[in-house]
């Protein structure tokens, strides 16, 4: 309807400016049900433009393919399958940070490639794929072969994070080869599930054949969505957030998310029991876990705490790697060696006892021997949130070892008392790990962290009073939960 269409156009104009669209051109795009629909429309537009070029040249257009990393979210594969496009999945590795390997991607492109999906924020680890580097390689390929391969950026999460937390990163319409961008409103757009957006660089990148004109709702409206009727409430909520927060408000939210994700990452690695697969807390250019990178991350994080700036200033993010405020972590090799029966699925299950849902899942194909747990830090997070999460992860780790008769110290019997302060727990753990540790030191270090949390009690002297009946025998609530 006309009133909602005006709000629709205002939202598109905001995003067009946010993603560095040409100011001389009006925004070309639409609201969608979610980023999945946006991805599909972006892929469909690339297919139609490729087909038109092939037919105009009198060439076969029956075998389109699209190239993207094996770390892609399922919506990308759905697009290929639903619209008869061959998926060419680029293998990922630790060297490519478990996301798109730009060199390998180049090897999969041929004259039937309609385009590429490049992901700004991998679902698995939070890494940003290098849009500008991929575009540079495609420019060179076009010079050598004449193949013109466009890029659609899947910015489901990152398109609302990068403009505020990493404004220096070139991933959007500043990169000429990027023809379309999609995002989700309910991830970091600060709205409810049920909304996404897709924008094109200019009208010529959206084929006319995909557009329909309607005149029976009052005025003339163009539509090119896969869904037709859907509620306007989500779009209105998005517009409300845009005018309520503005650029400064969104920047404050994203910077806070980045800070809390780094705090959690540094604290987890300081325990010696966990390492992060995500790299957003490491100094720019450093990737992968080692004692050297752990110390470098802890030292840099400590230094940025003293940086004086406004909450909307992205300066504290600049020394670190690009990435989402996401913490993907696993047991360290040292911990697995000392406790070979340790199981991350047990940690994930025990965390549900404390009210947390933390998935434990394999990394993409070719790296799926590794399983990681993942926490996405959102706008409602706080230092207390991180403190409690780290505390409960340590509780779950100790409980797992206790139930396997592999305790590192006294058995844990009771949760932290409600009146016990945890306001500086994560910072305390992070600071305690700012020294190089040998394998022999890590054992006592981890024990010391548990002592700091205050959860190591004499299990016989501190039995909970509440009891449950289990097949006729009494068990404490604690024993039952374990």
Cα dist from 260 to 132, 281, 317, whole Å = 28, 10, 12
In tens, the pLDDT along 127-153 reads 999 999 999 999 999 999 999 999 999
- Read off the pLDDT of each residue in 110-123 and give the average, rounded to a whole number: 97
pLDDT interval class at 49 (50, 70, 90)? very high
Distance in angstroms (rounded) separating the CA atoms of residues 239 and 230: 16
Q: What is the pLDDT of residue 442?
A: 67
- Answer whether residue 240 shows pLDDT above 70: yes
Distance in angstroms (rounded) separating the CA atoms of residues 269 and 261: 12
Whole-number percent of the chain with pLDDT over 70: 84
- Answer whether residue 24 shows pLDDT above 50: yes
- Read off the pLDDT of each residue in 242-255 and give the average, rounded to a whole number: 96
Whole-number percent of the chain with pLDDT over 90: 70
- Answer whether residue 361 shows pLDDT above 90: yes
In tens, the pLDDT along 399-451 reads 998 877 544 443 333 333 444 444 577 777 777 766 776 766 666 666 666 66
- Read off the pLDDT of each residue in 232-243 and give the average, rounded to a whole number: 95
């Amino acid at each position: 309807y006309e009133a909602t269409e005006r709000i629709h156009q205002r939202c598109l104009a905001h995003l067009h400016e946010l993603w560095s669209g040409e100011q001389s051109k009006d925004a070309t795009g639409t609201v969608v049900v979610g980023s999945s629909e946006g991805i599909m429309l972006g892929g469909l537009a690339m297919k139609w433009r490729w087909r038109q070029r092939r037919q105009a040249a009198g060439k076969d257009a029956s075998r389109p393919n699209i190239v993207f990393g094996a770390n892609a979210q399922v919506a990308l594969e759905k697009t290929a399958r639903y619209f008869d496009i061959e998926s060419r999945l680029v293998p990922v590795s630790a060297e490519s940070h478990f996301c798109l390997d730009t060199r390998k991607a180049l090897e999969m492109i041929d004259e039937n490639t309609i385009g590429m999906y490049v992901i700004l924020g991998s679902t698995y680890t939070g890494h940003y794929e290098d849009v500008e580097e991929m575009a540079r390689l495609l420019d060179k390929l076009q010079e050598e072969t004449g193949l013109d391969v466009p890029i659609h950026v899947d910015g489901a999460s990152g398109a609302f994070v990068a403009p505020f937390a990493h404004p220096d990163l070139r991933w959007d319409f500043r990169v000429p080869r990027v023809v379309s961008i999609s995002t989700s409103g309910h991830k970091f757009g600060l709205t409810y599930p049920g909304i996404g957006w897709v924008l094109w660089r200019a009208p010529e990148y959206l084929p006319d054949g995909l557009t329909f004109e309607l005149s029976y709702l009052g005025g003339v409206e163009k539509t090119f969505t896969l869904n037709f009727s859907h509620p306007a409430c989500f779009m209105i909520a998005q517009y409300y957030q845009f005018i309520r927060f503005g650029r400064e408000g969104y920047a404050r939210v994203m910077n806070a998310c980045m800070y809390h994700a780094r705090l959690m990452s540094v604290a987890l690695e300081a325990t010696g029991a966990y390492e992060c697969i995500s790299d957003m807390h490491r100094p720019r250019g450093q990737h992968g876990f080692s004692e050297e990178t752990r110390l470098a991350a802890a030292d840099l994080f400590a230094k940025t705490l003293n940086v004086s700036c406004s909450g909307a200033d992205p300066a504290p993010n600049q020394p670190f790697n690009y990435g989402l405020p996401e913490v993907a972590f696993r047991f360290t090799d040292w911990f697995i060696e000392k406790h070979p029966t340790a199981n991350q699925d047990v940690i994930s299950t025990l965390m549900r006892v404390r009210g947390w849902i933390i998935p434990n899942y394999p990394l993409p194909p070719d790296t799926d021997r590794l399983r990681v747990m993942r926490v996405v830090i959102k706008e409602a997070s706080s230092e207390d949130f991180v403190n409690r999460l780290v505390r409960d992860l340590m509780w779950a780790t100790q409980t797992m070892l206790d139930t396997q008769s592999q305790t590192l110290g006294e058995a844990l019997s009771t949760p932290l008392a409600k009146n016990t302060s945890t306001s500086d727990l994560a910072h305390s753990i992070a600071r305690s790990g700012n020294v190089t540790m040998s394998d022999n030191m890590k054992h006592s270090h981890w024990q010391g962290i548990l002592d700091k949390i205050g959860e190591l009690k004499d299990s016989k002297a501190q039995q909970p009073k509440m009891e449950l009946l289990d097949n006729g025998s009494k068990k404490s609530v604690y024993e039952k939960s374990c």
